[in-house]
Structure 1
Amino acid sequence: MLIPQEKLEYFAASLDGVTTDNELRLRTEIIPSETDILLVSIEDREDFPIYITVDESQILCMSYLWREEDIKPELHKELLDTLLSMNLPMPLSSFSKVGNQYIIFGALWTSSTVDELIREVDFLSDNTLTAVEELWDYLIK
């Protein structure tokens, strides 16, 4: 069984250059930090890369959406209600907030395969674009 760092390196090598079922072309790079992060860039969607971390209990995939200051103040509460309402119908993804940054994320078991991770990246990328399109009116342009 691979330790989290080895699994992250394995995923980086396995995903780099892959084209998903939805024709998304992936590029990977490991960002060294206290807990290394796998950055998955998606051709034609460079503004919304997927960040992947691996620990003993899960594989976490997330994409940044917008910051607190990007929200129209008068629509802040309505946006929060909308995000909560979208959590269930949004397949395989959920919304959260880290500091002042809103994110969309999905999680997998540590025993997930490369193919399952590719599908998660595919879904999360599509869901990120859908969220931005659906919620654009709440944001300061």
Structure 2
Amino acid sequence: MDTQSLILSLGDATHAGRTFNVMPVTGDDPVLQIVVSGAEETPVYLTITDTQILCLVYLFEQNEIRPSALADLHESMLRISVPMPLSALGKVDNHYVVYGALSPTSSLTEVMQELVTLADNAIDLLQTFEDFLE
């Protein structure tokens, strides 16, 4: 699956009653910003390489965490990461993220499932972690 065909396919698609607003992000690498209906506050950023389709949502920046809560936040992230379906937690530069990866041969249905699940998981995580933030 390539970026252009994904834009065209997702623009008219629905999955579990959800729709997708797809916008290319300008930059060196082809990245899409995808807003899943019902989860507008957690856009998913998607890029496709030869080896994977990577989807991620930016949760918050490191400077938004109460310094005294950093160790507890990390412990909580480690505990939550295993039972969270189709998603993992990480850090990109100073941004905490939730992400998922798929095979580049994944079907459109599998990509849509990942997008919906990731966007919903991001909302749940933001609520879970709000006590750690300033």
Match of 2:6 in 1: 11
- Aligned residues of 2:36 and 2:116 also touching (Cα < 8 A): no
- Aligned residues of 2:61 and 2:96 also touching (Cα < 8 A): yes
- Structure 2 residue 90 is matched with structure 1 residue 96: yes
> In 2, Cα distance between the equivalents of 1:47 and 1:130?
12
> In 1, Cα distance between the equivalents of 2:9 and 2:82?
30
**Would you tell me which structure has more strand in proportion to its own residues?**
2
Match of 2:30 in 1: 36
Structure 2 residue corresponding to 1:81, chosen from 75, 95, 104: 75
Q: TM-score, normalised to structure 2's length?
A: 0.95
**CA offset at residue 26 of structure 1?**
1.0
**CA offset at residue 51 of structure 1?**
0.4
Task: Please give the secondary structure, in 2, of the residue aligned with 1:133.
Answer: helix
- Structure 2 residue 119 is matched with structure 1 residue 119: no
Q: TM-score, normalised to structure 1's length?
A: 0.90
> In 1, Cα distance between the equivalents of 2:114 and 2:66?
31
Distance 1:17 1:70, change over 3 A: farther
Identify which of structures 1 and 2 has the higher relative contact order when contacts are C-alpha pairs closer than 8 Å and 6+ apart: 2
**CA offset at residue 44 of structure 1?**
4.0
Q: Deviations 1:59-101 (Å, cap 9, x if unpaired)?
A: 0000000000111111001001110111101011000001100
4+ residue runs over 3 A deviation: none
Counterpart of 2:102, as a letter, is L
- Aligned residues of 1:18 and 1:27 also touching (Cα < 8 A): no
Task: Please give the secondary structure, in 1, of the residue aligned with 2:14.
Answer: coil
- Is the deviation greater in 42-51 or in 90-99? 42-51
**RMSD value, Cα:** 1.2
> In 1, Cα distance between the equivalents of 2:102 and 2:36?
20
Could you tell me the percent identity over the aligned residues? Answer: 28
- Aligned residues of 2:34 and 2:43 also touching (Cα < 8 A): yes
> In 2, Cα distance between the equivalents of 1:73 and 1:24?
37
Any gaps of 5 or more consecutive residues in structure 2?
none
- Aligned residues of 1:53 and 1:59 also touching (Cα < 8 A): yes
**CA offset at residue 137 of structure 1?**
0.6
